[in-house]
Amino acid sequence: MDFFQIVSEVGFPIASAITAGYFVFLTLKFILAGVVSSVKSLSNIIIALDNRVKTMNNDVIKIDILISNALGVKPDIDRISRAEGQTDARRD
């Protein structure tokens, strides 16, 4: 009933343009909601992969130190010092 009242006040072309604009708005809102949820899930995956890389880096440095110690070779101090200020990403 409201649509006919708007048509009588502003005319059919303007009322149909407003209706079409509303449907375009709904379509864009639906599409963008899907894109935003995809971006959020990809962001969570990237954060998890970054934590795995940090954990692997810490583990590789630990293994390097253990092997260097077992073989009697001087460990790479520069590599250890570069990783010294970083936080450990492990969750144990």
- Determine the pLDDT at residue 13: 87
pLDDT in tens, 14-62: 888 988 999 999 999 999 999 999 999 999 999 999 988 888 888 888 8
Distance between CA atoms of residues 9 and 78, nearest Å: 78
Give the residue extent of every domain in the chain.
2-84
H or E segment to which residue 8 belongs? helix 2-10
- Determine the pLDDT at residue 62: 85
Distance between CA atoms of residues 80 and 86, nearest Å: 11
Distance between CA atoms of residues 88 and 14, nearest Å: 62
